[in-house]
């Protein structure tokens, strides 16, 4: 599980668009903490610290502690909004976490040992079907990433969820099939050569059949 970080927040009584705009002008971000059977808590967070966490990676899968006027609450980010034009953080939603909390998160997939894949060595291309895998798991056991080993993979081979080692208690949300994570695709040049070879073989076979037919016709005339 990712390391826990801490943010200091202020409880806010006023909510609404006007209050949110005022907070942003003062270098803060409106946010809310909800879940675990407790009333939601509206808070204000420092813009710089939150934005740094968002852009450092793993924000949505990292548990945080928020200090709200001296009361510390463990949370997991569930959503955040960015301004579509200026790309700054507008709002963050946090889920309150307890020891029994189960969450649904997207875990990134990391690929290793590309140099040990014969298919890639022949010019094949790693075709990533899923950059993340959605899973259900305990909030205290969120994996940092899933590791996909490319060792020994040939052209046309693929990695499926069954090839990924999942920690105890971590289950994919898709359970009705062994879905694909990535494949080793043949390069366009190699495909063209193979297609040309198949066409040549087909043409050769057709030529042999035509020749045999002509011989039979000549024999019949005699």
At 134-175, the pLDDT tens digits run: 999 999 889 999 999 999 999 999 999 999 999 999 999 999
pLDDT given at position 205: 54
Q: Which fold has domain 5-98?
A: Ribosomal Protein L25; Chain P (2.40.240)
**What are phi and psi for residue 217, nearest 5 degrees?**
-65, -40
Does residue 194 sit in helix, strand or coil? helix
**Numbered ranges of CATH 2.170.120.20 in the chain:** 103-185
| pLDDT value of position 22 | 84
High-pLDDT (> 70) share of the chain, %: 83
Kindly give, in sequence order, each residue whose CB lies less than 8 Å from that of residue 156, ignoring residues fewer than 6 positions away: 119, 183, 184, 185, 186
**More reliable by pLDDT, 215 or 112:** 112
Q: By CB neighbour count within 10 A (0-12 exposed, 13-18 middle, 19+ buried), where does 142 fall?
A: buried
Q: Which CATH class is domain 103-185?
A: mainly beta
Q: What is the pTM of this model?
A: 0.73
Q: Is the pLDDT of residue 65 over 80?
A: yes
Rounded CA-CA distance 9/49 in Å is 11
* Summary mean pLDDT of the chain: 85
Give Cβ neighbours of residue 112 (< 8 Å, ≥ 6 apart).
147, 148, 149, 150
Alpha-carbon span 45 to 50, nearest angstrom: 7
- Share of residues in the chain with pLDDT > 90 (%): 62
What are the two backbone dihedrals, phi and then psi, of residue 219, each rounded to the nearest 5 degrees? -65, -35
pLDDT of residue 134: 97
Ranges in the chain annotated CATH 2.40.240.10 = 5-98
Q: Which strands, in side-by-side order, build the sheet including 146-149?
A: 146-149, 102-112, 132-138, 171-172
């Amino acid at each position: 599980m990712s390391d826990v970080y801490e943010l200091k927040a202020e409880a806010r009584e006023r909510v609404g668009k006007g209050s949110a705009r005022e907070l942003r002008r003062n270098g803060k971000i409106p946010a809310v903490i909800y879940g675990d059977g407790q009333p939601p808590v509206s808070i204000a967070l420092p813009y710089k610290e939150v934005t740094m966490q968002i852009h450092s990676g793993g924000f949505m899968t990292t548990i945080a502690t928020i200090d709200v006027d001296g009361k510390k609450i463990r949370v997991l980010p569930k959503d955040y909004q960015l301004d579509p034009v200026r790309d700054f953080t507008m709002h963050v939603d946090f889920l309150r976490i307890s020891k029994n909390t189960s969450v649904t998160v997207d875990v990134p997939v990391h690929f290793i040992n590309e140099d040990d894949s014969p298919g890639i060595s022949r010019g094949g291309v790693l075709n990533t079907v899923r950059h993340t895998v959605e899973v259900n798991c305990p909030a205290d056991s969120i994996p940092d990433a899933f590791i996909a080993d490319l060792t020994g993979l040939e052209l046309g081979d693929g990695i499926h969820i069954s090839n990924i080692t999942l920690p105890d208690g971590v289950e994919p949300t898709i359970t009705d099939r062994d879905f694909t994570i990535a494949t080793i695709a043949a390069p366009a040049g190699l495909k063209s050569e193979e297609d040309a070879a198949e066409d040549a073989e087909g043409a050769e076979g057709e030529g042999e059949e035509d020749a045999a037919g002509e011989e039979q016709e000549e024999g019949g005339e005699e």
